[in-house]
Amino acid sequence: MKIAISCKGPSIDDSFDSHFGRASYFQIFEDNKWHSFDNRENANAAQGAGISTAQSIIDMGVDVIITGSLGPKASRVIADSDIQVFLSDLPSIKENLLQFAPKLGLSITPETMEAKK
C-alpha cells in the first residue's frame, strides 16, 4: 500500500501541508519505507495545480492520500480512481500516518516508522 501525505518540505520532519495541489512535497510511505516526492513543478503551475498533482499521484500508483483539503477539480480526477482520501489537520507527517494507519488495517508504531528510509 502506497500512502502519500502532503508536506511543506522534503523531509518527513517537515510540517504537514493542508494544501493538496499547491503542496511542495509529498512524503510517500510504502512497505515501511519513506521517500519524498518533489511536487514543486505541479505546485507552481499557473493553473490546474490540483489536476496535475492528482495526475502525478495517480501515475505514481498511490493508494491513499492524506491531505488538508482537495479542490473540486482534483476531486474529479481522484474520484474516478480507486484512491482513498483522508482529510486531516494534524501538524506532523508521522502523526498523520499513525492516525490513519488503523483505518487502513496497517499496524504502525512510532518505532516501525523510524526504521525506514
Partner 1 sequence: MKIAFASGKGGTGKSTIARTFANYIAKDKHVSLIDADVEEPNQLLFFKASTTEASKPVSLPIPVIDNDICSKCGACVKFCNYNALSLNKKGVTVFPELCHACGGCSMVCPINCISETPHEIGETTLAHNKNISLIQGKLAIGSSHATPLIEELLKRAPQNKTTIIDSPPGSACSLMAVANAVDAIVLVAEPTPFGLANLETVVDVCEELELLFGVVINRCNMGNTCVLDFCQKHDIEILAEIPWYYDVASSCQPISQLESHFNTQNNPMQKLAEAVSKWEAEC
DSSP state of 3: E
76 binds partner 1 (CB under 8 A): yes
Q: What is the DSSP string of 64-78?
A: EEEES---HHHHHHH
Residues 6 or more apart whose Cβ sits within 8 Å of residue 66 = 3, 4, 5, 6, 85, 86, 88, 96, 97, 100
**Binding-residue pattern over the window 53 to 72 for partner 1, x denoting contact by CB under 8 A:** -xx--x--------------
How near is the Cβ of 96 to partner 1 at its closest, in Å? 24
Residue 110 cell numbers, joined: 512510532
73 binds partner 1 (CB under 8 A): yes
How near is the Cβ of 58 to partner 1 at its closest, in Å? 5
Interacting residue ranges for partner 1, rule: CB under 8 A: 45, 47-49, 51-52, 54-55, 58, 73, 76-77, 80-82
